[in-house]
């Protein structure tokens, strides 16, 4: 804790607004970071999202960076400088003895961001919820009793609670999008390969994608921009401006909103009917989605229905790749019978008996399936919308595997709309569009062409701005509602 009567502030709800306050000298970098570190103390008694706090208080941040003064926390799956991740496991049977730190964190550091903590996760990223027998059950900050999705569960909890402004997670079958949707925040799965997976423990390398969880589309865009090289920013986020001192502070929010302006000629397709008879959209979910589509039709060029005839095949192929590659990742543990829990084992074990030709065929035909999907659904449309949770965000008791109320079909339904996107390698974003009959968030998934992250975030930003204003999707994060001051101030 910094000395000398340093006041711990009331923080704004968005990274973009915090950066404006820092650039305008309304708050110092030291004050901003001290406040964010103080908030971490709230986690153990409330949400169970933090694994380790990382002390960077002695590290001088880059003063001119676009994320200077911003504290981030990340899924405990990355090698960050000298910190080696636990991956949600009690005993680490994986080994990356020569693996370097993830380059994403070097870029974030160059932009001034500070790493506050590492965050809980399903063991070895092998769960669609945050259930992990080795750690306390993560608590949904906004919807008590509701499930927290996985495997990037701690990331969703920490962001929704207000413990950090954004978090990097990983998404293999929906593991960024599912937890984000369960906590009512934004989750971005970028185009496969856009963000490096170097320095990140694998589950299924073909499908693994580093993604971003945030409370605001503009915040997610700023973090995405910071993780890219300058040439990548110019190519994939054309004209995008960073939150640095070159911006006019008097027009700060206006300028940054212009960079995420959804073109009026945007063409939207949507599909709300899954071709599996086991995946049925509940009426209250459908009503919220239909209301959103009607509202959206007033601001875009077209909104038209689509039918995803290949869905079952894409899901099957995604499962083949995930199980086989998970079996390879955890081969030693499967042989020894130790080192992984029953959920990880259930993900990896089927891969040991899947015929090799099935796996080879799934890999070989992936580019063809992607091309066909783009031709059929995104040649005459810019974005395809789908539901996320067909039955809404469930209670924890319905999806915990040792619960008396456990409903396997409900658990499987959680990634029924997400896993095929990883197989196709496409970008997708989820964000809340309303509440269901239980007052839990209903999220939409927006899928785009390769490297269309900017237009996907623009779609999210349009809804956010219309319904939440400048506060972001979570207008009152619980941690930010506490009035905290430092011990120095208390005893001054």
pLDDT tens-place string over residues 293-327: 999 999 999 999 999 999 999 999 999 999 999 99
Q: Which pLDDT band, with edges at 50, 70 and 90, does 486 fall under? A: very low
Short-list 233, 184, 196, CA closest to 432: 184
In the structure encoding, which two tokens stand for residue 200, read together? 């990140």
In the structure encoding, which two tokens stand for residue 39, read together? 């908030």
Predicted pLDDT at 222: 98
Q: Per-residue pLDDT averaged across 249-270, rounded?
A: 92
DSSP, res 239: T
C-beta separation of 209 from 321 below 8 A: no
C-beta separation of 47 from 146 below 8 A: no
Prediction pTM value: 0.95
Q: What is the mean pLDDT of the chain?
A: 93
Instruction: For 115-139, give the secondary structure using H, E and C.
Output: EEEEECCCHHHCCCECCCCCCCCCC
pLDDT tens-place string over residues 409-448: 999 999 999 999 999 999 999 999 999 999 999 999 999 9
92 or 209, which is more confident?
Answer: 209
pLDDT tens-place string over residues 152-199: 999 999 999 999 999 999 999 999 999 999 999 999 999 999 999 999
Predicted pLDDT at 483: 46
73: left (phi over 0), alpha (psi -120 to 50) or beta: beta
Answer yes or no: is pLDDT of 8 > 70: no
**Strand pairing of 267-270 and 302-305?**
parallel
Answer yes or no: is pLDDT of 216 > 70: yes
**Residue whose tokens read 């700060």:** 252
Q: How far is CA 480 from CA 9, 14, 62, 72, 449, in A?
A: 10, 11, 25, 15, 36
Angstrom distance (rounded) from CA 357 to CA 432:
40
Q: How far is CA 163 from CA 130, 220, 272, 415, 485, in A?
A: 18, 16, 34, 26, 15
Answer yes or no: is pLDDT of 464 > 60: yes
Angstrom distance (rounded) from CA 316 to CA 7:
55
Q: How far is CA 235 from CA 280, 303, 449, 488, in A?
A: 39, 28, 14, 47
Predicted pLDDT at 97: 54
C-beta separation of 179 from 152 below 8 A: yes
What domains are there in the chain, each with its CATH number? 15-490 (3.90.1300.10)
Predicted pLDDT at 491: 34
Answer yes or no: is pLDDT of 115 > 80: yes
pLDDT tens-place string over residues 353-375: 999 999 999 999 999 999 999 99
Angstrom distance (rounded) from CA 113 to CA 111:
6
Predicted pLDDT at 1: 40
Q: Could you tell me which residues come within 8 angstroms of residue 466 by beta carbon, excluding any fewer than 6 positions away?
A: none
Q: Which pLDDT band, with edges at 50, 70 and 90, does 56 fall under? A: low
The count of C-alpha atoms lying within 13 angstroms of the C-alpha of 175, restricted to the half-sphere facing its C-beta, is: 32
Predicted pLDDT at 94: 65
Answer yes or no: is pLDDT of 489 > 50: no
pLDDT tens-place string over residues 233-244: 999 999 999 998
């Amino acid at each position: 804790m910094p000395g000398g009567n340093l006041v711990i502030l009331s923080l704004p709800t968005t990274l973009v607004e915090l950066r404006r306050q820092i650039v305008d000298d309304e708050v110092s970098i030291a004050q901003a970071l001290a406040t964010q570190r103080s908030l971490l103390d709230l986690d153990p008694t409330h949400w169970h999202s933090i694994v380790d706090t990382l002390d960077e208080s002695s590290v001088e941040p880059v003063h001119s960076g676009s994320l200077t003064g911003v504290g981030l926390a990340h899924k405990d799956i990355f090698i960050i400088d000298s910190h080696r991740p636990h991956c949600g496991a009690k005993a680490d049977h994986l080994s990356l003895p020569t693996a370097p730190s993830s380059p994403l964190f070097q870029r974030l550091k160059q932009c001034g961001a500070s790493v506050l903590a590492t965050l809980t996760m399903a063991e070895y990223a092998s769960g669609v919820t945050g259930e992990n027998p080795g750690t306390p059950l993560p608590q949904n900050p906004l919807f008590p009793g509701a499930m927290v999705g996985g495997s990037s569960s701690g990331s969703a909890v920490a962001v929704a609670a207000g413990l950090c402004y954004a978090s990097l997670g990983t998404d293999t079958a929906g593991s960024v999008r599912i937890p984000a949707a369960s906590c009512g925040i934004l989750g971005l799965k970028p185009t496969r390969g856009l963000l490096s997976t170097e320095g990140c423990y694998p589950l299924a390398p073909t499908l693994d994608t580093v993604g971003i969880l945030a409370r605001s589309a503009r915040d997610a865009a700023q973090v995405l921009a910071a993780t890219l090289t300058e040439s990548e920013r110019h190519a994939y986020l054309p004209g995008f401006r960073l939150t640095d001192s070159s911006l006019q502070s008097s027009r700060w929010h206006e300028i940054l909103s212009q960079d995420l302006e959804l073109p009026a000629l945007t063409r939207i397709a949507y599909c709300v009917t899954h071709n599996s008879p086991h995946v049925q959209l509940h009426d209250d979910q459908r009503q919220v989605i239909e209301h959103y589509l009607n509202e959206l039709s007033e601001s875009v060029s077209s909104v038209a229905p689509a039918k995803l005839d290949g869905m079952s095949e894409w899901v099957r192929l995604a499962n083949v790749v995930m199980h086989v590659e998970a079996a390879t990742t955890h081969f030693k543990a499967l042989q020894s019978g130790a080192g992984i829990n029953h959920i990880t084992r259930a993900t990896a074990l089927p891969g040991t008996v899947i015929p090799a030709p099935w796996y080879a065929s799934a890999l070989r035909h992936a580019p063809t399936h992607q091309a066909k999907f783009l031709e059929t659904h995104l040649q005459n449309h810019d974005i395809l919308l789908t539901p996320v949770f067909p039955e809404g965000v469930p209670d924890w008791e319905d999806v915990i595997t040792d619960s008396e109320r456990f409903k396997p079909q409900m658990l499987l339904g959680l990634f029924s709309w997400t896993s095929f996107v990883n197989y196709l390698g496409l970008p997708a974003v989820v964000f809340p569009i309303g509440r269901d009959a239980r007052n839990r968030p209903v999220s939409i998934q927006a899928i785009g062409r390769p490297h269309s992250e900017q237009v996907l975030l623009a779609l999210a930003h349009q809804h956010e701005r219309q319904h939440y204003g400048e506060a972001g999707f979570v207008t009152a994060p619980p941690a930010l509602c506490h009035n905290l001051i430092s011990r120095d101030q208390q005893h001054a």
